[in-house]
Amino acid sequence: MTTSWADCRTVDPAELESRYSTDDSMEFLQNVLDDEREDCEASLERVREIMDDLPDREADFVDLYFFFHKTQTDIADIFKVSQPTVCYRLQRATERIRFLLSLPDVTIEEMETAMCGFLSDPEDVKIMVKMYRTTCQSEVASQLGITQGKVRHRFMRSTKRMQDNPKMSKYAEIFGAIAGKLNIRREVQRPAWESKVAYVVD
């Protein structure tokens, strides 16, 4: 039987986990959580708020890995998924958390007030607020029961309007940064079949 796999080799789970666990965002988040200075309490609280907006599975992974100190292999066993899947979702979630921590701190109430005063369509207001909370157009589309295309179109249109209005410069900066990171939770592009590598974990 002919196979299209380019390569197939056995990889030790511990070695595989260490290879995937050097992501800068994951190290950054671990440093935030490990820092015992009083001025880091606000960052820790913000991380908790952001986790509330993660998809349930990703929030579970972050909680187990960073707060309960489970290994990626342990989490994979619990949820019956592969270790690389756990790693990818952790990296994706922590990248988004790190990005949101870097944005100017605005409360949801402030955001809603500003958006209601600027946007006439209540649906546009919901889209912008939820995009600020999640940075994920697919998540916003799911929550509002509309298409991702509609979320993206309305989001980009509102962001452009803010960029053209000096009074909305702070929010234009926030949403401009999010617009540049719209792929922060997008699935990785799958490689061409010929270039795939199979990792068999013992």
* Buried b or exposed e, range 44-82, using 16+ CB within 10 angstroms: eeebeebbebbbeebebbbebbbeeebbbbebbeeeeee
Q: Give whole-number Cα distances, 9 to 2, 6, 76, 108, 199, in Å.
A: 17, 10, 20, 49, 6
Residue 148: its pLDDT value, please? 93
20 and 82 together in one domain: yes
Residue 158: its pLDDT value, please? 96
Between 127 and 13, where is the model more confident?
A: 127
Residue 10: its pLDDT value, please? 41
In a domain, 201, yes or no: no
Distance (Å, rounded) from C-alpha 181 to C-alpha 136? 9
Provide mean pLDDT across the span 122-147: 91
Could you tell me the pLDDT band of residue 42, with boundaries at 50, 70 and 90? low
Task: Look at 21-25, 133-137, 189-193 and tell me which has the smallest mean pLDDT.
Answer: 189-193
Could you tell me the pLDDT band of residue 38, with boundaries at 50, 70 and 90? low
Mean pLDDT, the chain, integer: 76
Percentages helix, strand, coil for the chain (3-state, rounded to 5) are: 70, 5, 25
Provide mean pLDDT across the span 77-88: 92
Residue 105: its pLDDT value, please? 76
119 and 91 together in one domain: no
Q: Is the pLDDT of residue 159 over 50?
A: yes
Q: Which of 37, 72, 102 is the last residue before a domain boundary?
A: 102
17 and 89 together in one domain: yes
Give the structural domain span for 28: 8-102
Q: Which of 37-46, 59-68, 142-151, 190-199 has the highest mean pLDDT?
A: 142-151
Residue 80: its pLDDT value, please? 93
Residue 98: its pLDDT value, please? 81
Provide mean pLDDT across the span 47-76: 85
On whether the CB atoms of residues 57 and 79 are closer than 8 A, the answer is yes
Which CATH number does the domain housing residue 66 bear? 1.20.140.160
Count of structural domains within the chain:
2
In a domain, 160, yes or no: yes
Q: Is the pLDDT of residue 29 over 80?
A: no
